[in-house]
Amino acid sequence: MSNSNIWHHKLFHCQSLLRPASLEHQSKLDSSGIFAKYFFKAARRSSRFYGNDLKLRRSESGIGGSRRSVIFTPRAVLAMEPSSEQLVGKFNLDGNIEMQVFVSNSSAASVAQINIQVTYSSDSLLLHWGAIRDRKEKWVLPSRQPNGTKNYKNRALRSPFIKSGSNSYISIAIDDPAMQAIEFLVVDEAKNKWFKNNGQNFHIKLPMREKLIIPNVSVPEELVQIQAYLRWERKGKQMYTLEQEKEEYESARFELLEEVARGTSIEDLRAKLTNKNDRCEIKEPSVSKIKNRIPDDLVQIQAYIRWEKAGKPNYSPEQQLREFEKAREELQTELYKGVSIDEIQKKITKGEIKTEESKQLQNKRYFSNERIQRKKWDIMQLVNKHAAKSVEDKVSKSAEGKASVESKVLKAVELFAKKKEEHDGGAVLNKKIFKLADKELLVLVTKPGGKVKVHLATDLEQPVTLHWALSKKAGEWLEPPPNVLPPGSISLQVAAETQLKNESTEFSYQVQSFEMEIEKDTFIGMPFVLLSNGRWIKNNGSDFYIEFGRGSKHVQKDAGDGIGTAKALLDKIAKMESEAQKSFMHRFNIAADLMDQAKDAGELGLAGIFVWMRFMATRQLIWNKNYNIKPREISKAQDRLTNLVQDIYANNPQHRELLRMIMSTVGRGGEGDVGQRIRDEILVIQRNNDCKGGMMEEWHQKLHNNTSPDDVIICQALIDYIKSDFNTSVYWKTLNDNGITKERLLSYDRAIHSEPNFRRDQRDGLLHDLGNYMRTLKAVHSGADLDSAIGNCMGYRSEGQGFMVGVQTNPVPGLPSGFPELLKFLLEHVEDKNVEALLEGLLEARQELRTLLFKSNDRLKDLLFLDIALDSTVRTVIERGYEELNNARPEKIMYFITLVLENLALSSDDNEDLIYCLKGWKHALSMSNSKSDHWALFSKSVLDRTHLALASKAEWYQNVLQPSAEYLGSLLGVDQWALNIFTEEIIRAGSAAALSTLLNRLDPILRQTAHLGSWQVISPVEAVGYVVAVDELLTVQNKTYKLPTILVAKRVKGEEEIPDGTVAVLTPDMPDVLSHVSVRARNSKVCFATCFDPDILADLKAYEGKLLHLKPTLADIAYSELKEGKLADSSSTNLKEVSPSPIKLVRKQFSSRYAISSEEFSSEMVGAKSRNISYLKGKVPSWIGIPTSVALPFGVFEKVLNEDLNWEVANKLQLLKKNLAEESSALGQIRHTVLQLAAPPQLVQELKTKMQSSGMPWPGDEGERRWEQAWMAIKKVWASKWNERAYFSTRKVKLDHDYLCMAVLVQEVIDADYAFVIHTTNPSSGDSSEIYAEVVKGLGETLVGAYPGRALSFICKKNDLNTPLVLGYPSKPIGLFIKRSIIFRSDSNGEDLEGYAGAGLYDSIEYSQASVDCNDMYTVIYLLNKTTDVYLLEVFWLPVETSYATAVRCIMRNATAM
């Protein structure tokens, strides 16, 4: 980084570091384009501020004595004289591209300078380099680097070339004499084009040199200007950019300093330069003489004036030293002009000496032309990898399984309710879900057409009878009138009984239901009990009861068991809610008391506090109940709570996102006077403006009794009312828009009955006083309001009047210099219609704050409130900017996406995936700007990955917040509608929602540009069927549809089964073409496609229940409605009666061997996987490695199960298998039981012998624990025979599950960089002349398993393997990586059967667990690279090409033989 950049970055923004010299210029270009004048600021002496005074700290050598020497380290510079350089290398890089390297050859120079010029022009040309020291091969990274240099993985430096016409150049300066050479490569980053020296690094030796000690002196600025002009002339009078001008100026200064270091005096330098340039004849007195003539007390005064004009920032000692020296130089400038010391003293006292700080303030160094200048922040520095873990009430694996089952059950009754609510169309009077052990019961009361309709539904599998009655008052049982009895009901003496009926199997859920309709106002409720399988079912020992008319406030589930929450904490909150309702003081103090328990409970504990505070903030809880509290007591309680939150924030980085969310629901608060002014100031307003009665007096009484965040809105409503020329409707609009109704005003303990009624002569005074009062209200209640947050950070003062106390808030210490102007810019432009510059400013402010938020600070909460306010403002600004994007080019939408994504990443814990998405968008923008052919296709992959990141973010919110919201909400009686949308509203309030909107705008543009169409057809099969819409394919995978069915599924992960009777599956999800469900669809001749257009998807859902004809092509699906009679005539329904399967399984027998080598593999011993390994030996090229393998053959599991040491396991397993026919939930118990098997000693010995003789490592050699891990992996493979998907799959095709035998293939696993699957026939089109390949980073499990995102995919003609066509860039967010290890693979006799695809149904388990890494897919550049006129698909892992490209190429060339 250059000196000037270091100064600009660190002095203005990082006050804790030492500041080198700075360069600021005013550019007056002559006709040739050279700068004419610079203003230079240097710093050399030590000083320190004490309070409001500036004291001089004398150096050890004394003021007038010799000054200490320092090693002067400026930026990398260009050579001083052409004669000092020699051409050391001339290279032909590629065709007409030539590179020349010049090195300074003076051994006396302390710095070796290397100039590199290339006849190639590109904005993305980089030098990938390092230095060689002490003959070591490993690169050393010099600390002195050209401007814009980035560290690449601590292994190399990346420095940008400077483009000049059709050429590019770069200069390197090496000041360490121990450096013997530099080595480098040249790369065009945008094109991923590398230039090497015949496949090797370029190596440039450096001349021997000595290290100069640069004396700490100043070189007169006019001499620097002359030297810079001479350099410019020597270089051909080029047109320089601002940065180039600064670089040239600093290089000129350094050259002069080197001359001084070699013994040249300033006078000799002047003579030398003025002889060369007759235009400059300036005589300069000695620097030391001038310095000694300036009294230190004058320097101290001038430094103080500079400090004041800069806004009295908090300078570090190093900054104070530099400020002192700048003040001295300003006084020296006056002496140069001939001003005497006495005159200088008079000027100082009158403030007539202009300081550079004041110029900087005037010029707004953060922005020019109403737009801030953003720094080039390293986005990878934003990565947070803190993984939050909950300590209390963690969901165990078994509980997760239970929750999974419950979620599916819940969907059944809720989907039923949704359908009925949509059908009835009227208001929902009541809706309640009761738990029935592991099942649920729904009661829904609606009011369509003025009548009351009651729906009851349950997912109980046994037949259910409803024993019920009606009531006109609570608790009574009255016989229902005959006209309301459903068909088949039996009337009893005081009740009725109705058999629940099964819903149509055409629905995607199975429930039994009851429906009854009565006239409104005839009955108030319905008591009932259930009878099933001879057993009465009640509500915790009492009758069930549902109200007809009072449910609007209490439509809710019962509390449930609190799984997935910090239950103990939430129970405690619920118990203390009655106390918390008294006032905000009580609530905040209770919350503060609970913070330690919440912190100890971890993520779920803090989520519980947030949910509670969110209920409060959204007015779901009572704010004040018969308790008079002073505002200062509320403010003090807020202050206590927010101080605790800021302390937890500082020490728990893994929970910062949740803690920010808690802060956003609570006002800032403050000790004493801040809150008291709420009470006092309203009295002053009333007195000053003669408004002591009516609405103002009622509001005054409310404020005295219990102030709340509502008062901020009331104050704003009054201001809007006055500004609208006293229009009362405007007053009510402001209130209603913010959730305050007339009923709410009347509900306060001190109700507000009246409307405002002011005189016109009160207008100006009220606007002034209410505007000031708003600051007081926001200081307590609205910490995250932007104006209030900025005020609290920058400091403000409100004077007292009479009895009203004054308030002073001091600035937060340690803010970056120049930050006040940036915040001022934001406030000035916060209402701008064109929002791009404002968004940049908001994000720049957040970036500046970021480092401060990671440090302990007594005022940390004020910085947090400011950051929260900036975050919130980004969201509101981007929503206002949608209009700006209506006709915008895609590049502008993409740029806005980068801004919103950056904002989301700044607010998120564990944001690595978001950062890689941001990196991808920046690369996509670069591709678009450079007119790359693939920019739209690449951008689409980044868009898809960003959608996945947002989905992951939403899932985190759902998992962490929603269970707590539902459990605590049910305990506190919160409205069910508020619980249902709790998480949705949190997401909607953040940047994620705005980002999703922008992505949806861009998606169709990218699809059109990349010629992707609206569909990706994975299995192009024509189909006719009835449309059924489902949320998840997983929830219906075991269902059998009696009629041909077209499923429109919102979610398809990739590992599901396709339900029987399904002829088509259409989804917006993007499973891999090679995923399990994709293979199933093709093998079963089921139409399967991804739809990218939400409008088409919505149209398809609108056909639910209707007969539709699908006619797919390779890139599209045409669909049309058919009449009912057409189904029988259609030959393309591909639905056939299920007939006995011709597929048979043959039971395998134990071969008397527990383990066998690969040479012993046969169809009687092992499955197809093992046999194929054996078959490949000797049939593939030598460069393709075949993994070393052994196996536990068929029958070993059964043999182990029958061993005496496992007789208890065998008995339990036999019992569970008997129950399996009736209860599929036994599958999980069977798997768990299999894991209890013990290993016979003979098995252990045989397996050890076979593995060692085959050259494989034996796990037991690493200790008994490692063998136990391997044995558990083997048992998990055996247990996977009873996976739900595998079990139901065999049952569907009527395979005898007992005959299914499982061998275990034991293989070595390599630490793969990439994995791929190649089909020798294109599976999408069926074209046998094409190969189709998909590639992922890491292990192949992310490709064939249910991992989100798409792989890199391409096709290639077999007769033209050198021209592959990329179909899609990768969007998978994760990769699986493992150290060289062992895998235990399922290898059953039920896989790869003719007519039945059993592959992928069973589990393979790694001996060592694979690590999950977030994919930096943008470091791996996928592109079509033209080499010697032949196009090849290559994959590069920068900076060295991997052998992967060769592997893909060779496999492609051998594809026809495989």
Amino acid identity of residue 330, one-letter, is E
Give the integer Cα–Cα distance in Å for 99 and 167.
10
Q: What is the dihedral of CA 235, 237, 243, 245, to 10 degrees?
A: 100
How many residues are recorded in the chain?
Answer: 1458
Residues contacting 994, CB < 8 A, separation 6+: 875, 878, 879, 900
Amino acid identity of residue 52, one-letter, is N
* No. of helices (H) and no. of strands (E), the chain: 43, 51
Using DSSP, state whether 169 is helix, strand or coil.
strand
Q: Which H/E stretch holds residue 1441?
A: strand 1440-1441
Q: CA 1269 from chain center: how many Å?
A: 35
Please answer whether residues 1425 and 192 qualify as being in contact, where contact means their C-beta atoms are separated by less than 8 angstroms: yes
| Closest to 1145 in 3D by CA, of 1020, 991, 1297 | 1297
β-bridge pairing 1015-1019 and 1365-1368? unpaired
What φ, ψ does residue 1139 adopt, rounded to 5°?
-110, 165
Q: In this structure, what DSSP letter does residue 833 have?
A: S
Catalytic residue among 554, 1076, 1109, 1319: 1076
Q: In this structure, what DSSP letter does residue 546 have?
A: E
Q: In what order do the strands lie in the sheet with 1381-1388?
A: 1156-1157, 1189-1192, 1302-1309, 1381-1388, 1405-1406
| Closest to 470 in 3D by CA, of 454, 450, 447, 458 | 454
Residue 958's Cβ-count burial label (10 Å; 0-12, 13-18, 19+) is: middle
| Closest to 115 in 3D by CA, of 231, 276, 259, 258 | 231
Please answer whether residues 206 and 105 qualify as being in contact, where contact means their C-beta atoms are separated by less than 8 angstroms: no
Helix 991-1009 and helix 935-972, axial crossing angle in degrees, nearest 10: 150
What φ, ψ does residue 428 adopt, rounded to 5°?
-90, 115
Residues contacting 391, CB < 8 A, separation 6+: 600, 601, 602, 605
Residue 1341's Cβ-count burial label (10 Å; 0-12, 13-18, 19+) is: middle
- Asked about 655 being catalytic, the answer comes back as no
Helix 694-706 and helix 673-689, axial crossing angle in degrees, nearest 10: 170
What φ, ψ does residue 178 adopt, rounded to 5°?
-75, -15
Q: Tokens 């109200």 sit at which residue?
A: 547
Buried b (16+ CB within 10 A) or exposed e, 1312-1321: bebbbbbbee
Give the integer Cα–Cα distance in Å for 1382 and 1404.
11
Amino acid identity of residue 122, one-letter, is S
For residue 1439, say if its preceding peptide bond is cis, omega within 30 degrees of 0.
Answer: yes
Here the contacts of 802-805 (C-beta below 8 Å, separation 24 or greater) are 802/684, 803/680, 803/683, 804/677, 804/680, 804/681, 804/683, 804/684, 805/673, 805/676, 805/677, 805/680
CA diameter of the chain: 124
Neighbours of 653 (CB within 10 A): 14
Give the integer Cα–Cα distance in Å for 570 and 395.
16
Helix 890-906 and helix 836-853, axial crossing angle in degrees, nearest 10: 20
Catalytic residue numbers, as ranges: 1076
